Structure 1
Amino acid sequence: MISDDEFDFDVTVVGAGPAGLTSALYATRLGLDTLVVNRGGGRAAMMRDTHNVIGVTEETSGNEFLKTAQEQVKSYGGEYRRGFVEHVEAIGRGGGDSDSRGSGDDGDVDEGDDGAPDGFRVDTGDEELTTRRVVLATGFSDERPDPPLPRTGMGLHYCLHCDAYMFVDESVYVMGTGDSAAYVAMIMLNFTDEVDVLLRGEEPDWSDDTAEMLENHPVDVVREEITGMNKDDDGWLESFEFEDGTVREYKGGFPMYGSDYHAELADALGLEREDSGEVAVDDHGRTSLEGVYAVGDLTPGHNQIPVAMGEGAKCGIAIHMDLRAFPRSTDDIADLGPVDESEVPAVSPELMATAVAHEGHAGGPRADADEVEGEATADD
């Protein structure tokens, strides 16, 4: 069995989108030694502008937003590394390791006496490290249609809740053949009276109920494939050309071809998944395997930055509650005795040094500056 102080980290977050970074921020500020491993990219990094995030203005790009978040995590003592986690392996209690990628011969994780792994071994390709808890924030990729296509954010958009506002009273397309494409087209009628569904030469496979609904909404269904595209001088979409020779003007639109969940680590650990592909979690990001959490686009719910940040915050708090040393329960007091003064505070020396020096600390530089300013005001 590995003791708590023998792990390299308390928490390892795999993925550095809004959900993963918020999890890391909360875990770090709540006294847990935290590592973020980020391979780069992701849906948030693709954003030209940031929408619907209170306090963050439109002109902030996704990369700028994420860079600020990364620096925040590091400023509080969290560690951030670029890398790719190849696999995560559960470590059973008593020092017994599970088979490769967290599965035993029968496909079940080798768990400890209380049904939970003692911790996890994380392989980044360059090194192996041990951690008490793992947060999966690996997200998903949107399935892209074939070209010709406009640039993402300049006529090609993946988030109706983020971008519908941009197309009020503009002509809009929705690409796809399934129920989701038909529904998004009908939803867009709340914002504009010019909406087409582009089948691109394929046959629709939406349900009969959806077909009846679509027939009773003023949405045009365009069956022909796209053969060309026109853009304005700034690179924004102006129109598509079709096989039948027609040209249709659009300001932008939404491809609806599904999602590719980055759930390889989740599957290797045997985590339960929803029928729709997301990793199943409780309200605080706990998965079906104790010690493993999942947040953000990898889990069910609205794929929105504020939602992801809320999930990350709840996950970070949950991990703190799961791992914090105190209060010591009556059962633990019976086993371990009362809490000795030498055991407190339960923060690593590294985090303590960072916290005491941080501008947000009660005794940090900002507090000293405020005290000097207060003295100067009093003297005046």
Structure 2
Amino acid sequence: MNDPIDCIIVGGGPAGLTAALYLARFRRSTIVIDEGHSRASLIPIVRNLAGFENGINGNELLAKMRRQIECYDVPVIEGRVTAIKEADGRFLVEYGSNGDSSSRTLIAQRALLACGIRDKLPPVDEAVRLTQRGLLRFCAICDGFEAQGKRIGMLGPASRALSHAVFFRTFCQQVAVIASDLDALTQDERALASQHAIDLIATVALDLPNSTEAPLNVACENGHRHAFDAIYPVLGCLTQNDLLSGLDVERDSDGMIVTDKHQRTSLDGLYAAGDAVNSLNQICVAVGEAAMASMAIHRSLPANPL
């Protein structure tokens, strides 16, 4: 392509695919570059997404969204963006296609970051498969309702795990904190755990069986094992901030991209939507932000009359 593309979208999750749909319907030239690591792909079933009364598997949802933008001939490149550079009001996006070590560059008038985040997985075998089977889970908002009557563990630094455990008491009675630093809990925090009947389980290292079947058994230093129907790691996440190297883009204290109500970043022409922006990591939020971003992108570009 000799002429610059209207918009390049980095990321093919719900935010990126929604933005591609909107921009295509605005008759804007758009390309999606997707590395294939959307958090949605790990979801065994999501039941709080409007319109899917029986729930839907994350990969199935992504496939449906892909098929929808195929109706508008939006190219989806399977590859990894390695750098984004700004020059003369345009964006040079460098990427490598999957299975190809050579680097390519596309030029766009606008760029949308929908690259999301990656949850930190616990250091155990089969962590990805355990997540896909729903034994390791990452969103109490999405699936806490289904935990009623189950035994749930919150795994991570003690204070953080405790705050998540207190929230999870909304859904079930049997909640435990699994941490190696229980000594760091204050007297008030221990009182809070007692108030909410939250067990505190000390473990030096997580020892799960090499199995994708429930229950999950956590071994402690005293030899005791505790069984859980599911464990929620609260170990933090990895942002994709390497893409912003060399760009003057504002981020908050957690490294998340800061945007205004139109999803504009601090760099003119660069937009962001989805988990890379908002701490409320929900598909519906990502989709809404993508709609706002695509509308703002369309309005910022020169008119494209027939």
Q: TM-score, normalised by structure 2?
A: 0.89
Residues 264 and 231 of structure 1: CA distance in aligned 2, closer, same or farther (over 3 Å): closer
Residues 265 and 230 of structure 1: CA distance in aligned 2, closer, same or farther (over 3 Å): closer
Structure 1 Cα separation of the partners of residues 248 and 239 of structure 2: 15
Structure 1 Cα separation of the partners of residues 194 and 245 of structure 2: 41
Partner residue of 1:169 out of 136, 149, 174 = 149
Could you tell me which residue of structure 2 aligns to residue 325 of structure 1? Answer: 303
Q: Secondary structure at the match of 1:12?
A: strand
Could you tell me which residue of structure 1 aligns to residue 41 of structure 2? Answer: 45
Structure 1 residue 120: deviation in Å? 1.1
**Which structure has the greater CA radius of gyration?**
1
Structure 1 residue 243: deviation in Å? 2.5
Structure 1 Cα separation of the partners of residues 206 and 303 of structure 2: 63
Structure 1 residue 196: deviation in Å? 0.8
Could you tell me which residue of structure 2 aligns to residue 155 of structure 1? Answer: 135
Deviations, residues 23-49 of structure 1 (Å, cap 9, x unaligned): 111111111110000111221111121
Structure 2 Cα separation of the partners of residues 120 and 154 of structure 1: 39
Mapping 1:241-320, distance limit 5 Å? 241-320=219-298
Q: Secondary structure at the match of 2:80?
A: coil
Partner residue of 2:197 out of 199, 202, 218 = 218
Structure 1 residue 76: deviation in Å? 1.4
Structure 1 residue 323: deviation in Å? 1.3
Structure 1 Cα separation of the partners of residues 273 and 159 of structure 2: 26
Asked whether the equivalents of residues 272 and 288 of structure 1 are also in contact (C-alpha less than 8 Å), the reply is yes
Opposite residue 192 of structure 2, the aligned amino acid is M
Structure 1 Cα separation of the partners of residues 90 and 165 of structure 2: 47
Deviations, residues 57-108 of structure 1 (Å, cap 9, x unaligned): 546321221122122112113221111111111121xxxxxxxxxxxxxxxx
Structure 1 residue 255: deviation in Å? 0.8
Could you tell me which residue of structure 2 aligns to residue 63 of structure 1? Answer: 59
Identity of aligned residues (%): 29
Structure 1 residue 14: deviation in Å? 0.5
Could you tell me which residue of structure 1 aligns to residue 108 of structure 2? Answer: 131
1:189 and 2:166 matched: no
Asked whether the equivalents of residues 177 and 206 of structure 1 are also in contact (C-alpha less than 8 Å), the reply is no
1:83 and 2:79 matched: yes
Could you tell me which residue of structure 1 aligns to residue 99 of structure 2? Answer: none
Structure 2 Cα separation of the partners of residues 147 and 287 of structure 1: 37
Q: Secondary structure at the match of 2:258?
A: coil
Mapping 1:334-349, distance limit 5 Å? 344-345=305-306
Structure 1 Cα separation of the partners of residues 7 and 261 of structure 2: 19
Q: Secondary structure at the match of 2:81?
A: coil
Asked whether the equivalents of residues 266 and 279 of structure 1 are also in contact (C-alpha less than 8 Å), the reply is no
Structure 2 Cα separation of the partners of residues 178 and 287 of structure 1: 34
Mapping 1:98-109, distance limit 5 Å? none
Mapping 1:16-55, distance limit 5 Å? 16-55=12-51
Structure 1 residue 129: deviation in Å? 1.6
Larger mean CA deviation between 205-214 and 162-171 belongs to 205-214
Opposite residue 312 of structure 1, the aligned amino acid is A
Structure 2 Cα separation of the partners of residues 82 and 205 of structure 1: 44
Opposite residue 50 of structure 1, the aligned amino acid is V
Opposite residue 113 of structure 2, the aligned amino acid is L
Q: Secondary structure at the match of 1:123?
A: strand
Structure 1 Cα separation of the partners of residues 246 and 40 of structure 2: 25
Deviations, residues 165-204 of structure 1 (Å, cap 9, x unaligned): 12112111101124331111011111111111011x3345
Q: Secondary structure at the match of 1:83?
A: strand
What residue ranges of structure 1 are gaps of 5+ in the alignment? 93-117, 327-343, 346-380
1:9 and 2:8 matched: no
Deviations, residues 255-282 of structure 1 (Å, cap 9, x unaligned): 1111111111124322110012100011
Could you tell me which residue of structure 1 aligns to residue 100 of structure 2? Answer: none
Asked whether the equivalents of residues 48 and 55 of structure 2 are also in contact (C-alpha less than 8 Å), the reply is no
Larger mean CA deviation between 300-309 and 149-158 belongs to 149-158
Partner residue of 2:178 out of 182, 188, 198 = 198
Structure 1 Cα separation of the partners of residues 263 and 63 of structure 2: 24
Q: TM-score, normalised by structure 1?
A: 0.72
Opposite residue 255 of structure 1, the aligned amino acid is P
How many residue pairs align between the two structures?
Answer: 297
Deviations, residues 131-177 of structure 1 (Å, cap 9, x unaligned): 00000111111112222676114321011101211211211110112
Partner residue of 2:119 out of 132, 135, 142 = 142
Structure 1 Cα separation of the partners of residues 167 and 256 of structure 2: 24
Structure 2 Cα separation of the partners of residues 157 and 36 of structure 1: 28
